[in-house]
Structures are given as C-alpha cells and as structure tokens.
Amino acid sequence: MDHEAKSRLLQIAATHHLDAVGTMRCPFSPILSKQLSTNGPVPFAPENIKERLDPEALLPGTRSIIVILFPYKYKEEKQANIALYARSKDYHRVLRKYLDAIISEMKISYPDTKFHPIVDTSPLADRFLAYQAGLGFFGKNHCLIHPKYGSYFTIGSILTDLSLPSDSPLTLSCGDCTRCMDVCPGRCLKENKFNPWTCKSYLTQKKEPLTEAEEKIIQKTPLIFGCDECQKYCPFNERASLSPIPEISEARIPYLSKEQLTSLSNRKFLKDYKEYAFAWRGKSILLRNIELLEKKKKEIP
Ligand code: B12
C-alpha cells in the first residue's frame, strides 16, 4: 500500500486550501448496492445499478478513489433566491480545475500512474465515495455531513490505479435531532427513506408541467433554484466553517429578479450565465418559479 503517495496527496491538497481529503479502496462496501436497490430511481441519475457500482468502466484498473470535499458556506446574503451551492461559479467547472491541478502535481511524482477525475455527472454515487473515504456520515436530510463543514460542500473525486490506504467511515450521527424533517417543504425526508420526486430542489429544476401539489411545494420558500431548507436548520451547518476556497467569494449571484430575466433573450441569458449551475435548465424554468412565488404573494391578503 502506498502510504507515501497518500502523504504527497494530502500535502498537495493543502496547498490548494483543501483539508477534507480522504481515500477509499475498491471495491465498494456491499451497503452501497443495497442502498441503491432499495431506494429506487432518482431524477438526474442513471437507473442502471451495475453502472453505478463500476469504477472500472471509467478507469480500467481502478484500485483506489481519492475524495475531496469543496466547502461552500459563505457569509449571510440579505437578498437571495438561489441555493447556496449555486451562487458562485458552477462547481462542476471549479472542482474540475482543482482536480486537474492535483492530478498534474501527482503525475510529477507518479508519472506512470493513471488518474480520472469525476464531479457529480459520473454514474458513481459521490456521497457514498465520500462516506467510504471517511469524510462524513449520512444525515437525516440524506446529505453527507462533515464535522467541520457540515453538509455545505460539493464532492469531487479522482479514480486511480495507485493502491492508497483506506480511511474508515465516521461513526457520528444526527442523534435525536429531526429539524430537517420538520422543515422540508416537500415532506420528502423519512428516517431511512428519501423521496426525491417531492424534493423542492428537484421541482425547481423540473421541466415537465408541474401539478398543483408540486407548485405549492415550490411556493413554500423563497428559492427559485435548488432548496436549502433541510440544510439551513442543521446544527452542523449552523456551526460549520466558512469556505476556504477563493472562488466561493468571487462573482456571486445570490439573487435573480424577474426584470433581470425578462430583459434577456434566451441566447443572452445563456451567454451571460453559462458559468453558473442555475443556468442549466434555461431561463424559462427560473421565470416559471419566480412567477409561482409572485402568485403566492398576491394570494396573501
Ligand atoms: C440526483 C441528485 C439529486 C436529486 C436527488 C437527491 C437524492 N437525495 O438522491 C435532487 C435533484 C433532488 C438533488 C438535490 C440536492 N443535491 Co444532489 N445529486 C444528485 C446526484 C447526481 C445523484 C444522487 C443519487 O445517486 N441519489 C440516489 C441515492 C441512492 O444516493 P445518495 O443520495 O448518494 O444516497 C445514499 C444514501 O441513501 C446512502 N445512505 C442513506 N442512509 C445511509 C446510512 C448508512 C449507514 C449508509 C452507509 C448509507 C446511507 O446510501 C445511498 C448511496 O450512496 C449526486 C451526484 C452523484 N453522482 O452522486 C448529487 C449530490 C448528491 N447532490 C448534492 C447536492 C449539493 C444537492 C443539494 C444540497 C442541492 C440543493 N441545495 O438544492 C440537494 C439536497 C437534497 C437532499 N436532501 O438530498 C451533492 C451532495 C453534497 C452533500 N453534502 O451530501 C452531490 C453529491 C453532488 C456533488 N458531487 O457534490 N440531487
């Protein structure tokens, strides 16, 4: 097992302000296939369970996975209608840049080693990689929770044929706290089950026509992209550290108004906001959500 490579990795990550780094050795724990088959299909993720358990398909010879948390907590912003994770530049791009830099630096010491970066869009279950790499525990809000950063982080990973020593899963838990379950707009949180189809985060991104019940879920809280309710009241997030990553404090867009959006053509919208994750479903979905919230306001006497 390559302990030296692990120390080098941690050193490199630290130079990039990254201190939540773990490693896991393949194969995955059998808990993962059990979780995936009992949970059923989720929006925006592949249905094929085999694909979700197969790092070999992405990098033949994968022996270990390096997992890195990218914290995104930021000081409070007075006017906001975009979920916290999407207010700075699209995390897919930002994380990819960090992962590529780390790979280039590792390659200097390990030139014959293979590395393959993934962020969100691979079939693998990112939270589980981070769990198995000792970076957090599964909260009742079904997010992964890290002792220092709470659940306010995104996850980037690197598959490699290096044989890195494995970190152990954390044994922390939410205890008796059920704050997230009580405030969830779509009532989708149950102790061991998550219903993604009534999650406000999903509904704000859903392109198909919404039912009346779905519209009501969106109208419950002010966000027009994503949802933070199950994270906002979590004690781990209340005391979480702010993000050490410079990109998180740059070029933030916490709020989009109806006027801003209607003044832009679809093309101009995509051009102006192409670097933000909230743009991926297009302008009309964001406008639909703003209009739903306005309609609700008018209904209140
Ligand atoms: C599809 C998807 C969604 C869907 C469905 C979410 C869901 N909970 O499944 C929607 C659109 C609703 C969504 C919303 C959000 N998402 Co999302 N999403 C994904 C995606 C692409 C796949 C998730 C998936 O496979 N779900 C299926 C279930 C089976 O998998 P899972 O969530 O990993 O669940 C695990 C738990 O059920 C676990 N488990 C549960 N209990 C226990 C207990 C034990 C002991 C163990 C071992 C395991 C365990 O086993 C499962 C297998 O890993 C991932 C990226 C990826 N490729 O993994 C991001 C991802 C999960 N999302 C992320 C984020 C940031 C969010 C939001 C916070 C965004 C927002 N503010 O609106 C919300 C959070 C909603 C919530 N409470 O989960 C982050 C999670 C960060 C974190 N700290 O956990 C990820 C990892 C993206 C990334 N790379 O950073 N998302």
Q: Residues 180-224: pLDDT tens digits?
A: 999 999 999 997 889 999 999 999 999 999 999 999 999 999 999
> Looking at residue 301, what is its pLDDT?
62
Long-range contacts of 5-12 (CB under 8 A, 24+ apart): 5/106, 5/109, 5/110, 5/162, 5/164, 6/164, 6/165, 8/106, 8/109, 9/66, 9/102, 9/106, 9/164, 12/102, 12/105, 12/106
Q: What is the mean pLDDT of the chain?
A: 97
What mean pLDDT comes out for the span 249-263? 98
Ligand 1, pocket-test mutation among 201, 228, 278, most atoms within 8 A of CB:
201
Q: Give the Å distance between the CA of 47 and the centre of ligand 1.
A: 14
Structural contact between residues 248 and 74, judged by C-beta atoms closer than 8 angstroms = yes
What's the pLDDT tens digit per position in 131-143?
999 999 999 999 9
- Which of 19, 54, 120, 167 is catalytic? The answer is 120
Q: Give the Å distance between the CA of 141 and the centre of ligand 1.
A: 10
> Looking at residue 165, what is its pLDDT?
97
Structural contact between residues 55 and 159, judged by C-beta atoms closer than 8 angstroms = yes
Name which residue sits closest to atom 16 of ligand 1, judged by CA: 201
Tallying the residues shown for the chain, one arrives at 301
Residues in contact with ligand 1 (CB, 6 Å cut-off): 31-32, 35-36, 39, 42-45, 83, 85, 119-120, 122, 125-128, 131, 138, 141-144, 151, 153-155, 194, 196, 199, 201-202, 226-228, 230
DSSP 3-state assignment of 75? Answer: coil
Angle at CA of residue 119, ends 108 and 64, nearest 5°: 55
- Report phi then psi at 145, rounded to 5: -120, 130
Q: Known catalytic residue: 120?
A: yes
What mean pLDDT comes out for the span 123-135? 98
Q: Is the pLDDT of residue 66 over 80?
A: yes
Task: Give the global pTM.
Answer: 0.98
Structural contact between residues 188 and 149, judged by C-beta atoms closer than 8 angstroms = no
> Looking at residue 39, what is its pLDDT?
85
